[in-house]
Amino acid sequence: MVIDQTLIARITAEVMAHMQGNSTQAYGIFATVDEAVAAARSAQKQLAGLSIEKRECLIQAMRDTAYENAALLAQMAVEESGMGNVADKTIKNQLAARKTPGTEDLCTHAWSGDHGLTLIEMGPYGVIGAITPTTNPSETVICNGIGMIAAGNAVIFSPHPKAKGTSIKIIRLLNEAIVKAGGPDNLLTTLAEPTIEAANAIMKHPGINMLVATGGPGVVKAVMSSGKKAIGAGAGNPPAVVDETADIEKAARDIVAGCSFDNNLPCIAEKEVIAVGCIADQLMAYMQKYGAYKISGRQIDELLGIIMTEEEAKMAAGCTEKPKKVYGINKDYVGKDASYILSKLGIEAPAGTKVIICETEADHPFVIEELMMPVLPVVQVKDVDAAIQLAVKVEHGNRHTAVMHSKNVDHLTRLAKAIETTIFVKNAPSYAGIGVGGEGFTTFTIAGPTGEGLTSPRSFTRQRRCVLVDAFSIV
Ligand code: NAD
């Protein structure tokens, strides 16, 4: 017998089912893409036969199990991926369980008049292929799972291979909760051995009606080129702008809190500060009061050599110019604690250190690249006009997230209009933009490139019109 990847995956799926004590239920874990898609299609048909009231009851069961297991999943994610911290990941899991909208998000539009009644209703796509990131593994499955099922779909998840154990655990828990609440098994499916090749097979599979990718530029481009309806939730590089009218102490506290949340892994987290010169020193002093450790001079160059990779850009044939340096991220440091990163500089961080700050020029690689670690460059500019201009530039047109601390309504409005981000947070930590300490629902899939914005169940629906002529209009 040839022992290949599929055989290993099949054995893993079967062992997991037996360990569960019930080999007839798959609870969403399959050896091949074909099997996972077939099971999800069958589950989706069964879901379509249930009432919305029952669907809401299944969602409540998903919410409860996700909430109860929030800390366990956070612990698993930190151990497996080596990124982030348990306390903040627990909050993110709880947030996804509690504040992801359910079926109430689906609404019907109606027109009535001389010629009767016309409705537009939001119907399911069918089976959705959802590709999820290593930075938010369980919270994205919880959030996508609730939203997609609320909209009447089933899902096949393609988790990042570096977070497969955590992702499989939450998919299994959610299926178990659904089955216990009287719903079909396999509304959420995945593979026992998720890989990039499997993600590509999911993108091409004829049994998948829609794709949703939450991740970096590569995967967003891949789903948008797939020929299927696709939602792409891509990278950000959120600037936090502070002008001279802001409450500087509060701005400093909020920036440290937002930037250090889950060790800066969230795509919405502050990635660079742009401060108007006259308040910049005061801002940095307050940041130090709230848990920032400031490095300077040679330490900044040393840190660059540690957390970033560097190579020479490929130049066109015949070009005589000196090659430019191209920087990338050293993935070993993504999502690590500030104290761990400081230890690599030979610095023992004082207790309570949350983030490393440093003053840099506007074109420093720390400003330009999405670091996803608690290292926050601060750039001084002469006035608010320069701050707005630079913020737009370093956000790179991602149209993802921006933060501003100011009491001047004109300044706030000008940056919001110029930067055109999906999320714009005023006078708060960035996470207020996804409902932590701010109003509104949450999501872990923020679709800037394809324009759905903060996704919710309605993002996973098809609009369908139903027309009844010359009746049901009662006036
Ligand atoms: P990643 O792009 O490396 O991986 C994301 C997912 O895509 C994984 O499941 C991975 O296996 C898969 N993948 C990657 N390249 C692929 C390809 N070419 N073909 C098929 N599948 C592919 O990202 P990550 O490191 O897991 O997550 C961090 C990135 O995701 C950051 O850039 C962050 O800003 C972004 N992100 C965005 C959002 C959002 O809502 N906009 C949310 C979370 C993370």
User: What digits encode the pLDDT tens for the residues 238-273?
Assistant: 999 999 999 999 999 999 999 999 999 999 999 999
Tokens representing 415?
Answer: 């940056």
Q: Which atom of ligand 1 is nearest to the CA of 133?
A: 26
Strand-pairing partners, residue 112, are 117
Q: What is the pLDDT of residue 135?
A: 98
* Cβ-contact 336, 263 below 8 angstroms: yes
249 and 318 together in one domain: yes
Could you report the per-residue pLDDT of 194-253, keeping only the tens digit for each?
A: 999 999 999 999 999 999 999 999 999 999 999 999 999 999 999 999 999 999 999 999
Give yes or no for residue 184 CB within 6 A of ligand 1.
no
Pocket test for ligand 1, best of 33, 95, 131 (most atoms within 8 A of CB): 131
User: What's the gap in Å between 59 CA and the centre of ligand 1?
Assistant: 26
The average pLDDT across 464-475 equals 95
To test ligand 1's pocket by mutation, which of 89, 267, 396, 423 has the most ligand atoms within 8 angstroms of CB?
A: 267
Is pLDDT at 319 greater than 90 in this prediction?
Answer: no
Atom of ligand 1 nearest to the CA of 221: 18
Quick one: pLDDT band at residue 9, thresholds 50, 70, 90? Answer: low
Cβ of residue 370 lying under 6 Å from some atom of ligand 1: yes
Give the whole-angstrom CA distance, residue 165 versus residue 171: 10
Nearest CA to ligand 1 atom 16: 219
How far is the centre of ligand 1, averaged over its atoms, from the C-alpha of 234 (Å)?
A: 7
- Does the residue 446 lie in any domain? no
List the beta bridge partners of residue 233: 214
Does residue 336 sit within a domain? yes
Do 376 and 357 belong to one domain?
yes
Q: For a pocket test of ligand 1, which of 92, 160, 268 has the largest count of ligand atoms closer than 8 A to its C-beta?
A: 160
Q: Return d(Cα 357, Cα 339) in angstroms, integer.
A: 12
Question: What mean pLDDT do residues 336-356 have?
Answer: 97
Q: Whose structure tokens read 């996972």?
A: 36
d(CA 451, CA 443): 14
Is residue 87 included in any domain, yes or no?
A: yes
Confidence bin at 323 (pLDDT 50/70/90): confident
* DSSP code, position 356: E
Distance from the CA of 212 to the center of ligand 1, in angstroms? 11
Check pocket membership of 218 for ligand 1, CB cut-off 6 A: yes
Q: Is the CB of 235 under 6 A from ligand 1?
A: yes
Q: Compute the C-alpha angle 100/101/103, nearest 5°.
A: 140
Statement to judge: residues 97 and 61 lie in one domain:
yes
pTM comes to 0.94
In this prediction, residues 50-62 reach a mean pLDDT of 98
Q: How many residues does the chain have?
A: 475
Tell me how far the alpha carbon of residue 21 lies from the centroid of ligand 1, in angstroms: 34
Helix (H/G/I), strand (E/B), else coil: 211: strand
Residues 6+ apart with CB under 8 A from 327: 304, 308, 309, 310, 365, 368, 369
196 within ligand 1 shell (Cβ under 6 A): yes
pLDDT at 313: 77
Question: Are 61 and 208 part of one and the same domain?
Answer: yes
- The CB of 268 under 6 Å from ligand 1? The reply is no
Interval between CA 456 and ligand 1 midpoint (Å): 19
Residue among 206, 164, 156 at smallest CA distance from 186: 156
Q: What is the CATH number of the domain that holds 331?
A: 3.40.309.10
**Could you tell me if the CB of 236 is within 6 A of ligand 1?**
yes
Shared domain check, 78 and 222: yes
Contact 399, 417 (CB under 8 A): no
Span from the CA of 442 to the centroid of ligand 1 (angstroms): 19
pLDDT at 387 over 70: yes
Question: pLDDT digit string (tens) for 135-193?
Answer: 999 999 999 999 999 999 999 999 999 999 999 999 999 999 999 999 999 999 999 99
Both 157 and 261 in one domain: the answer is no
Contact (CB, 8 A) for 189 and 39: yes
Q: How far is the CA of 85 from the centre of ligand 1 (A)?
A: 19
- Within a domain: residue 371? yes
CB of residue 158 inside a 6 A radius of ligand 1: yes
Which atom of ligand 1 lies nearest, measured to the CA of 195? 11
Residue 114, domain CATH? 3.40.605.10
Report the DSSP pairing between strands 154-158 and 188-191. Answer: parallel
Residues 317 and 395 reside in one and the same domain? yes
DSSP H/E element including 349: none
The dihedral formed by the CA atoms of 275, 278, 279 and 284, expressed in degrees to the nearest 10: 70
In a domain, residue 180? The reply is yes
Which band of pLDDT confidence, cut at 50, 70 and 90, is reported for residue 22? Answer: low
DSSP 455-467: --GGGGEEEEEEE
Cα separation, 118 vs 450, in Å, equals 29
Residues 193 and 333 in one domain: no
Element (H, E) at 89: helix 86-99
Q: 203 and 280, same structural domain?
A: no
Compute, in angstroms, the gap from residue 133 CA to the centroid of ligand 1. Answer: 5
Where would I find the beta strands (DSSP E) of 251-388?
272-276, 292-294, 308-312, 325-329, 355-359, 375-381
Answer yes or no: do 156 and 271 share one domain.
Answer: no
Which atom of ligand 1 is found nearest the CA of 267? 34
Residue 325 vs residues 218, 300, 310, 364, 371: alpha-carbon distances, Å: 22, 17, 7, 12, 17
Q: Is 447 a member of any domain?
A: no
DSSP state of 314: P
168 lines ligand 1 (CB under 6 A): no
- Same domain flag for 269 and 165: no
* pLDDT above 60 for 57: yes
Cβ atoms of 75 and 86 closer than 8 Å:
yes
Report the mean per-residue pLDDT for the chain: 95
Residue among 135, 158, 228 to mutate when testing ligand 1 (max atoms within 8 A of CB)? 135
Q: Is the CB of 446 under 6 A from ligand 1?
A: yes
Residues 137, 169 contacting (CB under 8 angstroms)? no
- Cα separation, 85 vs 6, in Å, equals 33
For residues 180 and 283, state if they share a domain.
no
Mean pLDDT across 116-140: 98
Q: Is residue 448 part of a domain?
A: no
Question: Is residue 216 within 6 Å of ligand 1 at its C-beta?
Answer: yes
Maximum Cα–Cα distance across the chain: 80
CA of 463 to the centre of ligand 1 (A): 28
Rg of the chain in Å (alpha carbons): 24
Task: Note down the domain range covering 117.
Answer: 5-234+454-469
CA 220 to ligand 1 center in whole angstroms: 8
**Which residue in the block uniquely carries the two structure tokens 């939001």?**
122
Question: Rounded to the nearest whole angstrom, what is the distance from the C-alpha of residue 296 to the centroid of ligand 1?
Answer: 32
The residue whose CA is least distant from atom 15 of ligand 1 is: 219
Q: Is the per-residue pLDDT at 21 higher than 60?
A: no
If one counts the domains in the chain, the total is: 2
Q: Please give the pLDDT value at position 322.
A: 79
Instruction: Decide if 449 is inside a domain.
Output: no
